[in-house]
Structure 1
Amino acid sequence: MITYMFKNTHFQELQLLHYGTEACTPGHHFGPAMRDYYKIHYVLNGKGTFEVAGKTYQLRKGQGFLIVPHSVVHYKADQDDPWEYSWVAFQGTHSASFLQQASLSEQHPIFDLGEEDDEMRSCLHRIIHSRTAHKGWEISMTGWLYQFFAILIDHSHDENVQPTAEYGKETYVTQVIDFIEMNYANAITVQSIASHIGLQRSYLCSLFKDQIGSSIQSYLVHYRMRRAAELTLDLSLSIGDIARSVGYTDQLLFSKMFKKVLGEAPTYYRKHKTAPSP
């Protein structure tokens, strides 16, 4: 068995807590018990059973199962053909969203990559052996954990899944805001935001307005104008420079939106805010 434990506060969005590989003995089992973090097992060889929420699942090579925090589970290796599996345990603000995109939950904890699982095996191998590879092992491990989720999401058969728990909705709203704050200077659209997050545009817009009280487009415009207002205090920047810095190639449109949001044209706003006190 190989396992390492660590917690790095630099990776708040997705933190790898521990990981490993184990060739189980016949009948080897865990639980019934619960974890306080997410954990995914992937079956490399053999067979076993997984029990959660009153359901029992039979698993084999190429399949895996999810354990969610505070959920009582029990899993057991087959007596005749005990499984060998790898696992990753993780937490972070993006965890719920990534699992949602991969169509995994306590109600649907099983995924199946079939016999074509070389990509997953390679990814897990990279995670497990990254620590001894080079000085940047923590960054490398986290990068491979993102790749792990990319594989799960690519093999998901249920697109545009909508969150059912309140915390899931809040997570998506946070992702919208984070995306805007990181990309407001680019030519982004509501559709590009929805595509990045992995939800239907109409559903994401409705969810965001219910939680925030404004549309995504309105939030984007107001955020851009707030940033533009801050930039007007830098006299080395022209109004055109400021417009381009907040995602507008058309200076006239930028000025129109600036006045609509802040009540003054950018040139007047700058003059008023930077004028010396009498």
Structure 2
Amino acid sequence: MITYMFKNNHFQELQLLHYGTEACTPGHHFGPAMRDYYKIHYILNGKGTFEVGGKTYTLHKGQGFLIVPHSVVHYEADQDDPWEYSWVAFQGSNSPSFLQQACLSEHHPIFELGNEDDEMRSCLHRMINSRNTHKGWEISMTGLLYQFFSILIDQANSEHLQPMPDYSKETYVTQVMDFIEMNYANAITVQSIAAHVGLQRSYLCSLFKDQMGSSIQSYLVHYRMRRAAELTLDPGLTIGDIARSVGYTDQLLFSKMFKKVMGEAPTYYRKHKTAPSQLSC
């Protein structure tokens, strides 16, 4: 067994707690017991079983399983072909969101990597063989943890075209709104938003409209125009500056959309308004 542990309060959003690899002996097991942190095992070779919530999963090379905090689990290596696995234990405020994007939860704890297997093995190899020999080691390890999640999320996005049943529609709507808030100034599209959330474009659009009463495109335009209205109060910005700041390279198109949403052309709005209108989407 190889394992390293550290805890640094600088990484509150995503914190690597410990990690390692083990070639298990036949019948080697853990539990039934629980952890107070998240832990993901990835099977490098061999077979074994994982039990949680009254369900038993028989797993093999290329698959993995999630342990969530305070959930009683039991896992055991096969008697004839015991597994070898690597694991990563973590916590932090971003953990639930990342796991959701990877389509992993207590009720859906199993994943399987296809083309991403080599990338996952490389990431784990770098993590496990890293040594704390430089000042940036913990930052480097946290970066590898983010890479670990990116592999899981990419795999999930390539497989799941519908949301897992235990994820609420409101959660996906929140992801859309958060993505727009962070990226409205860029050349984003509804397709790029759907790719980020991990759902089919048509399904996400239908889900969003049912929940919000507005299309994603309309919400994006209204959000951009509200931000633009706020920017018109800055006399140091030209209308072109404002247009580019909210994602429009075409100033004429921007002015057209601004008038459609705000009811006035941006130049007129700037002259006659002291505060941006609070329009709902």
Length-normalised TM-score, structure 2 = 0.80
CA distance in 2: counterparts of 1:222 and 1:9, whole angstroms = 37
Match of 2:43 in 1: 43
Is 1:271 the counterpart of 2:271 in the alignment? yes
CA distance in 2: counterparts of 1:28 and 1:132, whole angstroms = 30
Is 1:160 the counterpart of 2:161 in the alignment? yes
CA distance in 2: counterparts of 1:225 and 1:115, whole angstroms = 42
CA distance in 2: counterparts of 1:90 and 1:169, whole angstroms = 26
Match of 1:2 in 2: 3
Say how many residue pairs are matched: 273
Length-normalised TM-score, structure 1 = 0.81
Amino acid at match of 2:5: Y
String of CA shifts for 1:152-188, please: whole Å, max 9, x gaps.
355557331313235x434322321222122212222
What does 1:71-220 align with in structure 2 at a 5 Å threshold? 71-79=71-79, 81-91=81-91, 95=95, 98-99=98-99, 102-113=102-113, 117-130=117-130, 132=132, 134-155=134-155, 158-166=159-167, 168-220=168-220
Identity, in percent, stands at 82
CA distance in 1: counterparts of 2:116 and 2:223, whole angstroms = 45
String of CA shifts for 1:38-59, please: whole Å, max 9, x gaps.
3211123444321123332333
Amino acid at match of 1:109: P
Q: Cα distance 1:9–1:193, how it changes in 2: closer, same or farther (>3 A)?
A: farther
Of the structure 1 ranges 78-87 and 236-245, higher mean CA displacement relative to structure 2 is found in 78-87
Of the structure 1 ranges 48-57 and 222-231, higher mean CA displacement relative to structure 2 is found in 48-57
Amino acid at match of 2:226: R
User: RMSD over aligned Cα, in angstroms?
Assistant: 3.2
String of CA shifts for 1:114-135, please: whole Å, max 9, x gaps.
7994432221122234462543
Amino acid at match of 2:144: W
CA distance in 2: counterparts of 1:93 and 1:58, whole angstroms = 31
Match of 1:230 in 2: 230
Offset at residue 219 of structure 1 (A): 1.8
CA distance in 1: counterparts of 2:214 and 2:70, whole angstroms = 34
SS of the equivalent of 2:160 reads coil
SS of the equivalent of 1:171 reads helix
Q: Cα distance 1:48–1:129, how it changes in 2: closer, same or farther (>3 A)?
A: same
Amino acid at match of 2:214: S
